[in-house]
Structure 1
Amino acid sequence: MPRGRAARTEPARIERSGANEVVAQRTRHDHDATVPPDVTAAIREAIVRGEFAPNQRLVESDLAEQFGAGRGGVRTALVELAHEGLVERIQNRGARVRAVTVAEAIEISEVRMVVEGLCAAKAAEAVTDAEIAELRTLGEAMRTAVASGNVLEYSELNQTLHRRVIEISGQGTAADVLERLRAKNVRHQFRLALVPGRPSVSVTEHLAIVDGICARDPTRAEHAARGHLVSVIEALRATGPGSV
């Protein structure tokens, strides 16, 4: 009889165990649904937008509350962003936004010169009629922003043009590389936009890139893109040492 009772109750224990596992899976699923799909991307974008200043401490509990994520997810994100060079982790002191020196910004721009030149050439080969019209409209908007002295709008349009050229090129590997470099260098780019006279120089260079792509001339487009980054490097050198 004891063995019989054990035999009858064992399936019940298995059934309850299975039910508990289902509940646990549902609980984990419900919890995951409330966590942003990519905390790393959210923090990275906040740094790019300037929500966090260079050398500012990044407190895990504050970030968890701001982005609606668990502290474990935030901690993992900070480790990944440290590998990207956006965040600096200091032993026993946590993490902070990493400042980028002018020398490093120049190195980044030198890499961008090669990769964005490639993307401009690829875009010239792949661009459609609709995309040509889009790039022309974007170029005119940039010209108008500079003429009206709207530096912030011009800076945003600048970023949009670079992003669209990369997207049109279809070069996914280059897009990944440039996204990481953009995040590290965006503060210097905005700083350059504030230099008197720089937007007028920059918009002419960007319009040359647009012209090369819209003419479907890869050599011309690549030359214009590389020429623009050479100009950026010269402008960075003129700003002198420091970090942002």
Structure 2
Amino acid sequence: MHVTTSDTAQKRLGTLDDAITAIRSSILEGEFAPHQRLVEVDLCEQFGVSRAVVRNALLKLTSEGLVEHLPNRGARVRAISLDEAIEIVEARAALEALCARKAAERMTPEAREYLTELRAAIVDALESGDLAEYSMLHQRLDHYIRDLSAHHTSTQILERLQAQGARHQFRLSFRPGRAARSGPEHLEIIDALLAEDADAVEEATISHLKGVITAMRES
């Protein structure tokens, strides 16, 4: 079968996307530690892609703030300090609040049904003490609010900011007692969305992220 230039480009793009996703996940999940060197040959072998793909993936992750390049030493996982992580959450607060307000203004019957089910699932996870499930559900809530807001610029910036601060927030989410504080805050955000109250959901979102900052400073 004849393969066109566009077919080949699309295949390469998919391979690059897979490599970016795999390396990003390894960084965010702690498989690659802060300041760990990212050796291209090793990454090629681990992920089954070419050196050119790995190099381009590392450039992309550098633009996201997850990787840094050192002169004559190559790439390594970029360490995010606590102070920088707090700055990231402060920046997120403004954008998350904007998305939440837009989402409240764009509520639909389908969104109402989804959020009602998500609220019930969060309550179940909190009552059963399933922190992993609760963590997954509140991430789902964050992404759904952004999608519902249809504010693409904020969403793109937030995805990059959240990736940079993910390691700090992951540790925070499993701290004893943290879910008991953040859970009601997430429920308040959902309730404000269901009420289509843009002011209330904006305030609840900012309040929640201020609580995140306070908890990070206490760590």
TM-score normalised by the chain length of structure 1: 0.81
Offset of 1:36 from its aligned partner?
A: 1.2
User: Residue 180 in 1 paired to residue 151 in 2?
Assistant: no
Instruction: State the distance in 2 between where 1:224 and 1:30 align.
Output: 48
Instruction: State the distance in 1 between where 2:199 and 2:148 align.
Output: 16
Instruction: State the distance in 1 between where 2:40 and 2:171 align.
Output: 29
Instruction: State the distance in 2 between where 1:161 and 1:155 align.
Output: 10
AA partner of residue 11 (structure 2): A
Residue in structure 2 matched with residue 36 of structure 1 by the alignment: 15
Of 195, 198, 208 in structure 1, the residue corresponding to residue 178 of structure 2 is 198
Q: Which runs of 5+ in 2 are unaligned?
A: none
Offset of 1:223 from its aligned partner?
A: 0.6
Residue in structure 2 matched with residue 6 of structure 1 by the alignment: none
Residue in structure 1 matched with residue 108 of structure 2 by the alignment: 128
Of 78, 84, 92 in structure 1, the residue corresponding to residue 72 of structure 2 is 92
Residue in structure 1 matched with residue 128 of structure 2 by the alignment: 148
Residue in structure 1 matched with residue 34 of structure 2 by the alignment: 54
Tell me which structure has the larger Cα radius of gyration.
Answer: 1
- Does structure 2 conserve the Cα–Cα contact (< 8 Å) formed by 1:146 and 1:200? yes
- Cα distance change, pair 31–229 in 1 and its aligned pair in 2 (3 A): closer
User: Residue 224 in 1 paired to residue 204 in 2?
Assistant: yes
Instruction: State the distance in 1 between where 2:39 and 2:214 align.
Output: 37
Residue in structure 2 matched with residue 103 of structure 1 by the alignment: 83
Residue in structure 2 matched with residue 213 of structure 1 by the alignment: 193
Instruction: State the distance in 2 between where 1:28 and 1:71 align.
Output: 21
Offset of 1:148 from its aligned partner?
A: 1.6
Q: Which moved more, 1:201-210 or 1:37-46?
A: 37-46
AA partner of residue 62 (structure 2): A
The Cα offsets for residues 181-222 of structure 1, whole Å up to 9 and x where unpaired, read as: 111111111111122111011010001110111111111111
The Cα offsets for residues 6-27 of structure 1, whole Å up to 9 and x where unpaired, read as: xxxxxxxxxxxxxxxxx8x769
The Cα offsets for residues 218-238 of structure 1, whole Å up to 9 and x where unpaired, read as: 111111111100100111111
Offset of 1:56 from its aligned partner?
A: 2.3
Instruction: State the distance in 2 between where 1:37 and 1:79 align.
Output: 11
Equivalent residue of 1:216, what SS?
A: coil
**Identical residues among aligned pairs (%):** 47
Alignment size in residue pairs:
216
Instruction: State the distance in 1 between where 2:35 and 2:11 align.
Output: 32
The Cα offsets for residues 23-69 of structure 1, whole Å up to 9 and x where unpaired, read as: 8x769955863651523344223323333222222121222233332
Equivalent residue of 1:36, what SS?
A: helix
AA partner of residue 199 (structure 1): A
Equivalent residue of 2:75, what SS?
A: strand
- Does structure 2 conserve the Cα–Cα contact (< 8 Å) formed by 1:36 and 1:68? no
TM-score normalised by the chain length of structure 2: 0.90
Offset of 1:118 from its aligned partner?
A: 0.3
- Cα distance change, pair 64–27 in 1 and its aligned pair in 2 (3 A): farther
Instruction: State the distance in 1 between where 2:152 and 2:199 align.
Output: 20
The Cα offsets for residues 49-95 of structure 1, whole Å up to 9 and x where unpaired, read as: 33322222212122223333221121122122223210121222221
